[in-house]
Each structure stands twice: as structure tokens, then as C-alpha cells.
A and B are shown apart, each in its own frame.
Chain A
Amino acid sequence: MLAKSFKHVGAHLLAILACLTMVMPFYLIVTNSFKTKADASSMSAALPASVHLENFLTVISAGKLGTSFFNSMLYASGSTIIGTLFAAMAAFVLSRNRTRFNRFLYFFIILGIALPANYFTLTKVMQITTLINTRTGMILLYAAGQIPFGVFLMYGFLDTVPRELDEAAIMDGCGPLQLFFQIIVPMLTPVLVTAAVLSFLGAWSNFIMPLYYLNNTANWPMTLSVYNFFGQYQANWNLVSADILLTVLPVILVYFLAQRYILTGITAGAIKG
């Protein structure tokens, strides 16, 4: 009995240690973002001697974070809406109508989960479509990027949505669009939320696409501007911390609001696969 409770305490201690290891870096940027430049220079875990909220104002104006925040929000939400919708529609038809060709298409699309990007020929595509250096270009790039995984996630889930629903809807005179939007989409809600949240987080965090395809600072998202800000203000860890904090706060917020959909949703897809 003693050995058992000893094991129990040990497990909790290990779990707490793991949590602290994961949260510590985040704590460091929070506490240092309120310090003076001198106090933040060593990025210590100490609480700020005095609270300097003006760090955030400095960062927002010097780093032009207003535009970047708007851009990130636009890219992440725009691509999430387009990508999730297209992926859901494709998954629906591919899953319901399993001809040999559709089965091939499904595998062809989810092969995209593995495929690496070729940024050189992609540049060419972006130039030909005149999407390079544009906000629309970013939205479409991110939307395209999430299609394979989105289709994969929803294709599996659609098996759990009974086909009898389709039959009944068709009998009632629904067309394909009505059937999809009024009957199927509500049934897909949990997996749609999972796909949408993952897509939003992924697009918000993406750094490589804007690095390659946006040279106009007015279109930069948060990731690119925080990197640029870091380049200029490396010595001011209080400001860099504040900038990082503003960059990660939205994803942390979305994560805590939607953690159930992520922590259970990704596993549903993975284990089923």
C-alpha cells in the first residue's frame, strides 16, 4: 500500500516537473516583457521590480504590430474558411461515392501530407497567377496547404455519419448543396471545428511562406515582423519578449478555448488512419 502511494506521488511529481518544463519558457517571456531593458537582459525568472506596460506600446508602434496583427488574422481566418470548406466538400463526395477513380483521388490528395514544397517552382506559380506579394496569395497558399490533412481528417469521420440521412434528404427533394450544408455540415461539426482550429493555429504560426513570398512589410504577418523586430532590437529583451508575447497570445487563447477539439480530435484522425 505504501509502495503504491509512493509510486502515485512520484508520478504526480514527474508530471508536474514536465508541466513546469513546458510552461517555463512562456513564463519567462511574460515576466520579462514587463521589465526594464537592464532587468530583462538576463531573461531571469524573477518577477519585474516595477511593471512597464509601456513596453507593449513601444513594440506595437515600433514593430508596426497593428498591421501585422490584422494580416495574421486575415490570413489565418481566410485560409481556414476556404481550406476547411473545400476539404469538407471534397471529403464528402470522395467518401460517399467510392468509385475507383474517387478512391484514387482521395489517396492522391492525402499524399500531400507527405509532399514537401518546391519553393522555386512555387515562386513561378505565384508569379504567373500574380499572387506573389499579395494577401490573397497568402490566404490561398495556406488554404492549399491544409487541404490534404483536412480531407484525411473528415473522410474518416464521414463514415460515422449515416448514409440514411442522405437518402432521406434526397427523398425530401434536397439538391446536393442543400444536402451538404443543411444535413451533413451540422453532423460534421466536431471534426470541422478540429480541422478549423488546427488550420487557424497552423496559419498563424507559419513563417516560411511569408519569408519566401512577401517582401512588402505592409503585408507581413506577426511571425515575420517579430523575427524582423528581433533582428533590430536583440539587445532589448523586454521589448522582444513583449513582441513574442503578443505573437503567441492569440494561439494560446484559441488553444485553451478549443483544447478539447485538439486533444481528442487529432487522435481520432491519427488512430483511425
Chain B
Amino acid sequence: MKHGNRYPFYFVLGALILYLVFAIIPGITGIFYSFTDWSGYTDKINFVGLDNFKTIFSASENYLLFIKNTFIFTIITIILKTALGLALALILTEGVKRFAYFYRMMIYLPVVLPALAVALIFRSILNPATGFLNSTLRAIGLGVLAQKWLVNPHIALYSVIGVDTWQGVGYIMVILIAGLTSIPREYYEAAEVDGASFWPKLFWITLPMMMPAMIIVTVLNLLYALKVFDIVYALTNGGPGYVTDVIYTAVFQAFSQGQWGLGTAFSSLLFVFMSVVGYFVIRLMDRGQTRD
């Protein structure tokens, strides 16, 4: 029997149609709408060329700031989640044996919570006057470290980054634990015979062997961070002023204000950028698979 009959194409159709209708078609048509003055209020649509992109890249508007904020958020969360995730992964594989799974389960817990709920809880915890964080800092004599976490324009973005890292680090840790446990023990044993201590082993064995897992967590963090919305929207809604606004909070703003052409243009920039990133990631994975 031919493969086509055994593995019929209609099996793919359900997934493919949903994917085309709700992801690809909006993504592609969005690019075309980017060149129009599409508005939420009228049905009339006019071609306006590059006007929307000129607005986005104009220095007198805030869109460049939103892009900059998104990149700051992305880069710092990638660094923090990877570094802390790796530290926790090392503690739970090298440091402790008993209760390791229990610890892992607890540290992962925030990952499954709705980001919205996390943001609301942290609005209370980060309250400057009564919040749990500042109260605790004052109680242990570190009152000088107490901050107006979400209100001070100089640190608000970093507070949001902190909350997001708190929520997401467990996910990264779990993937890195899998990476760590797949490193053959013999490498460490050989190094120990040569008298290597913790740091040389970390730099000459663990980190090089962890490269595939590191690439995966970096990609996952990148894909998440560029699209971040919930946590920023519910923690600060972009404020104070615009200092914590990211691409997707600005997109929602454009949506609410009926600036659909502009919003589509902004979304399409990210769509094209991420298609390119996605393409290279897949190329990378494809090579990985053919190598096996």
C-alpha cells in the first residue's frame, strides 16, 4: 500500500487550517494593512505608503522607546533567567541529592500561575509603603534598600524584569537540569583525577557541554520576552509615563485608540523580525536532526 493511503493528508488538515486561519493569514495580511490608514472607527481604508513606519521610527514619537524597552527587558531577562536558572540547576544536581525533586517542583510552581495573577500579587508586594518586600527589608535592617519599586521611573522597568524573572526562572532551570544530567559523568571523573576543582570543571566541562541547552533556553526566553504583555500590562500598564511600555502594550494602546494601521505596522515589524529569527532557529534544529 502506498504511504499516502496509510498516512492520509486529511490528518494534517485540522491543525493546518487552524494555524493558517488564526496565525498565518492575519500575519501576512497584516503586512499589507501596514501601508494603510486603517482605523477602528471607519470602514474606509486608504493607502498611505510608509507613513506608519515613518511614525514608528520618528524621534518625536515614543515607539523607539517601546522598542528599546522591549530589548532591555529581553536582554536582561535572558541573562538573569539563564544565570539564576543555571545556578539553581547546579545546586539541585551537584549540591543536593535528597529532596532535589521536591525543590525542583516548588521552584517551578510560579511558572504555571497566570502572569496576570502574579502581577496583581506583586503590585501588593512591591507597594512602597505597606508592601511585603519593603516591610521585610526594613524589618531586617536593610531599610535603605527599600524602593518605590513600580513608581520610581528609574527602576520601574527593572522591577518588572525582576517579577518576570521570579516567575520564569523555574522553567529555564528545569531545562538546564535536563542538560546537566545528560553530561557523561566520566568527564568530571577524568577532570577530578587531574585535580580540577569546581570552577575549572564549570568552565571547561559544564558550560561547553551545556551549549545546546543554553541555546534552547536563550531562544525560548527571546521568543517569550519580545512578545511580553500580561505582566507589564497588569503591573504598571506601561507607566509611570511610558518608561515600562513594551511593544505589545503599545500595540494594545493602538488597538484601544482605533489606530489600527499604525498598530498593524508595529505588529508586522515584529512578525517579520520573528519569522527571520524562527527561520534560523529551525535551520539550526534541522541540522541538529540530520546529524543524528
Are A230 and B120 in contact, with the CB atoms below 8 A?
yes
Q: Is the CB of A244 within 8 A of B117?
A: yes
Which stretch (B60-68, B73-81, B129-137, B151-159) binds chain A? B129-137
A211 within 8 A of B: yes
Pairwise interchain contact B6-A87, C-beta atoms closer than 8 A: no
Query: Please, how many residues of chain A have a CB less than 8 angstroms from a CB on the other chain?
Result: 100
A236 CA / B100 CA spacing, docked (Å): 38
Query: B179 an interface residue at 8 Å Cβ cutoff?
Result: yes
Q: Are B274 and A87 in contact (CB under 8 A)?
A: no
Name the contact of A116 in the complex, choosing from B38, B131, B263, B267 (C-beta under 8 A). B267
B199 at the interface (CB under 8 A from A): no
| Binary contact readout B96-110 vs A (1 if CB under 8 angstroms, 0 otherwise) | 100111011111111
Distance A97 CA – B10 CA, assembled complex (angstroms):
13
Say yes or no: B95 contacts A121, CB within 8 Å. Answer: no
Q: Tell me, yes or no, whether B72 is within 8 Å of chain A by CB.
A: no
Contact across chains for A96 and B107 when beta carbons are under 8 A apart: no
Say whether B110 contacts A22, CB under 8 Å.
Answer: yes
By the criterion CB–CB under 8 Å, are A248 and B114 in contact? Answer: yes
What residues of chain B lie closer than 8 Å to A111, measured between beta carbons? 275, 278-279, 282
Contact B15 A251 (CB under 8 A): no
Does any Cβ of A come within 8 Å of B209's Cβ? no
Instruction: Return the chain A residue nearest B14 by Cβ.
Output: A86
Residues of A within 8 A of B8 (CB): 93, 176
User: In the bound complex, do residue B117 and residue A247 qualify as a contact, i.e. CB atoms below 8 Å apart?
Assistant: yes
Instruction: Tell which of B9, B88, B170, B226 has the most Cβ of chain A within 10 Å.
Output: B9
**A179 to B11 alpha-carbon distance, docked (Å):** 12
In the complex, residue of chain B having the shortest beta-carbon distance to the beta carbon of A90: B15
Q: Given A90-B12, A125-B26, A227-B116, does the pair A267, B107 have CB atoms closer than 8 Å?
A: no
Complex interface: stretch among B16-24, B140-148, B188-196 = B16-24
Report which residue of B23, B104, B278 has the largest number of chain A beta carbons within 10 angstroms of its beta carbon: B23
Flag whether B260 is at the interface (Cβ < 8 A). yes
Tell whether A267 pairs with B175 under 8 Å between CB atoms, given A28-B125, A124-B29.
yes
Contact B25 A121 (CB under 8 A): yes
Docked-complex contact A255 and B109, CB < 8 angstroms: yes
User: Is B30 positioned at the interface, with any CB of A under 8 Å from its CB?
Assistant: yes
Given A90-B12, A204-B114, A226-B117, A42 contacting B125 (CB threshold 8 A): no
Q: A114-B277, A118-B26, A118-B30 are in contact. Are A26 and B109 (CB under 8 A)?
A: yes
Q: Within the complex, what minimum Cβ distance (angstroms) separates B109 from chain A?
A: 6
Q: Are B15 and A18 in contact (CB under 8 A)?
A: no
Indicate which residue in A28, A118, A259 contacts B268 across the interface (CB closer than 8 Å): A118
A34 sits at the interface (CB 8 A): no
Tell me whether B121 is interfacial, beta carbon within 8 Å: yes
Supposing A90-B14, A125-B21, A230-B120 touch, asked if A118 and B264 sit within 8 A by C-beta, the answer is yes
* A251→B114 contact, CB < 8 A: yes
- What are the residues of chain B within 8 A of A90 when measuring CB–CB? 11-12, 14-16
Contact across chains for A114 and B274 when beta carbons are under 8 A apart: yes
Residues of A contacting B59 in the complex (Cβ-Cβ under 8 angstroms): none
Which chain B positions have C-beta within 8 A of A24? 132
| Inter-chain contact B213/A271, CB cutoff 8 Å | yes
**Residues of chain B with a CB closer than 8 A to A16's CB:** 103
Q: Does B150 contact A (CB under 8 A)?
A: no
Q: How far is the CA of A107 from the CA of B94 in the complex (A)?
A: 37
- How would residues 77 to 120 of chain A score, 1 for a CB under 8 Å from any chain B CB and 0 otherwise? 00000110111011011101100001001010111111111111
Quick one: closest A residue to B18, CB to CB? A144
**Complex Cα gap A247–B171 (Å):** 21
A109 and B22 alpha carbons, distance in the complex (Å): 12
Q: Is A201 an interface residue (CB 8 A)?
A: yes
- Which residues of chain A come closer than 8 Å to B285, judged between CB atoms? 273
Rounded to whole angstroms, the CA-CA distance of A18 and B87 in the bound complex is 11
Given A121-B30, A170-B6, A270-B216: A114 and B275 within 8 A (CB)?
yes
- CB–CB B121/A29 < 8 A: yes
Which residues of B are found within 8 Å of A19, using beta-carbon distances? 103, 106-107
Binding site for B on A (CB under 8 A): 7-8, 10-12, 14-16, 18-19, 21-26, 28-29, 41-45, 82-83, 85-87, 89-90, 92-94, 96-97, 102, 105, 107, 109-122, 124-125, 129, 140-141, 143-145, 147-148, 150-151, 166, 170, 176, 179-180, 201, 204-208, 211-212, 223, 226-227, 230, 237, 240, 244, 247-248, 251-252, 254-256, 259, 262-263, 266-268, 270-271, 273
Known contacts A90-B15, A110-B282; can you find 10 more A-B pairs with CB under 8 A?
A15-B91, A22-B106, A43-B124, A96-B6, A120-B267, A170-B6, A205-B113, A208-B248, A240-B120, A273-B216
Q: Which 6 residue pairs across A and B have the least CB separation, nearest first?
A: A11-B95, A114-B278, A267-B178, A205-B114, A118-B30, A90-B15
